[in-house]
């Protein structure tokens, strides 16, 4: 199973390249543009995938020799999460939105479970932290926002709700997302690896909607900013509380020696 993690870690950027070359059909940006929503982020935000893919490959190579976790479910979940991430791109290009939604939520579930796995608490070396924990939490963090952007896209594509009054259902969707972000951030005690991509995406959402012409775009932009500020504040409080209680700080392990 560990070798499958390597295989699918390499497959993801390869499929992304093919997708950008429109091998499967219109690229993801073109498809998204056909179904504008109030939960669309500025295009530059998706450049984060380059970093995610690079770190995922580092994780895949590192875990081949790592015996940190005896739980065989962990590499299985990571391999499946990577495979689903790769599968989402051509499926979305084909505008098979229901299938794409199922795929991205499944990928999020698997990689979030992997990111929360207790084995990460045992990582002490600099390499182990950067290659073992950081990639999974960064990937899970970005997907935590992406699943809601994709959900909004499906709602618009199939006109499940009023597309002329999107603010009425976009705000509740953001509220649900906020609960999810806050809950996972609390579980991870303010881990920057998870919350940084979420805040990055929220900033891009605010940038996109601040210049939007759809009704309610400006409101969504301010809500995204408020949520981002709130998550940063929560993270600072959690990290300070963790230090006050003498609990181990994952970030501090970057400088530890195994």
pLDDT tens sequence across 67-92: 666 678 999 999 999 999 999 999 99
What average pLDDT score do residues 192-203 get? 97
- pLDDT band at 110; cut points 50, 70, 90: very high
- Give the whole-angstrom CA distance, residue 163 versus residue 45: 24
- Report the pLDDT averaged over residues 46-72: 88
Per-residue confidence (pLDDT) for residue 245, from 0 to 100: 59
Does pLDDT of 122 surpass 90? no
What is the mean pLDDT of the segment spanning 62-68? 80
Q: What was the pLDDT predicted at 257?
A: 28
- Mean of all residue pLDDT scores within the chain: 91
Provide the number of structural domains found in the chain.
1
Going by pLDDT thresholds of 50, 70 and 90, the confidence category of residue 253 is very low
Most confident segment among 125-134, 143-152, 233-242: 143-152
Please compute the mean of the pLDDT values over residues 62-66 and round it to a whole number.
86
For the cut 50, the answer to whether the pLDDT of residue 255 exceeds it is no
> Once rounded to an integer, what is the mean pLDDT over residues 210-235?
96
pLDDT tens per residue, range 10-27: 999 999 999 999 999 999
> What is the model's pLDDT at position 125?
76
pLDDT of residue 252: 42
**Mean pLDDT confidence for 148-166:** 96
pLDDT at residue 121 in the model: 73
Range of lowest pLDDT (152-156, 175-179, 238-242): 238-242
pLDDT band for 118, please (50, 70, 90 cuts): confident
Question: Residue 71: what pLDDT?
Answer: 74
Domain that holds residue 30: 2-255
Q: What is the mean pLDDT of residues 173-182?
A: 98
């Amino acid at each position: 199973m560990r070798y499958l993690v390597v295989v699918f870690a390499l497959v993801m950027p390869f499929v992304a390249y093919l997708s950008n070359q429109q091998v499967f059909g219109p690229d993801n940006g073109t498809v998204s543009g056909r179904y504008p929503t109030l939960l669309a982020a500025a295009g530059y935000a998706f450049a984060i995938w380059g970093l995610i893919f690079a770190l995922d490959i580092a994780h895949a190579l590192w875990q081949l020799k790592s015996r940190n976790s005896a739980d065989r479910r962990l590499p299985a979940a990571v391999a499946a999460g990577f495979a689903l991430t790769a599968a989402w791109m051509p499926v979305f290009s084909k505008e098979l939105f229901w299938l794409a939604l199922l795929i991205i939520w499944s990928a999020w579930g698997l990689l979030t479970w992997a990111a929360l796995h207790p084995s990460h608490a045992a990582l002490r070396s600099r390499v182990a932290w950067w290659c073992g924990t950081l990639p999974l939490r960064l990937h899970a963090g970005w997907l935590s926002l992406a699943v809601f952007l994709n959900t909004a896209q499906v709602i618009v594509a199939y006109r499940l709700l009023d597309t002329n009054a999107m603010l009425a259902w976009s705000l509740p969707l953001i509220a649900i997302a906020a609960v999810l972000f806050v809950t996972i951030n609390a579980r991870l005690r303010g881990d920057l690896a998870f919350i940084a991509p979420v805040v990055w995406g929220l900033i891009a959402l605010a940038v996109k909607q601040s210049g939007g012409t759809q009704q309610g775009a400006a409101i969504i932009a301010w809500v995204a900013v408020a949520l981002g500020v709130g998550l940063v504040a929560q993270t600072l409080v959690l990290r300070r509380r963790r230090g006050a209680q003498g609990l181990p700080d994952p970030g501090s392990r970057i400088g530890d020696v195994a």
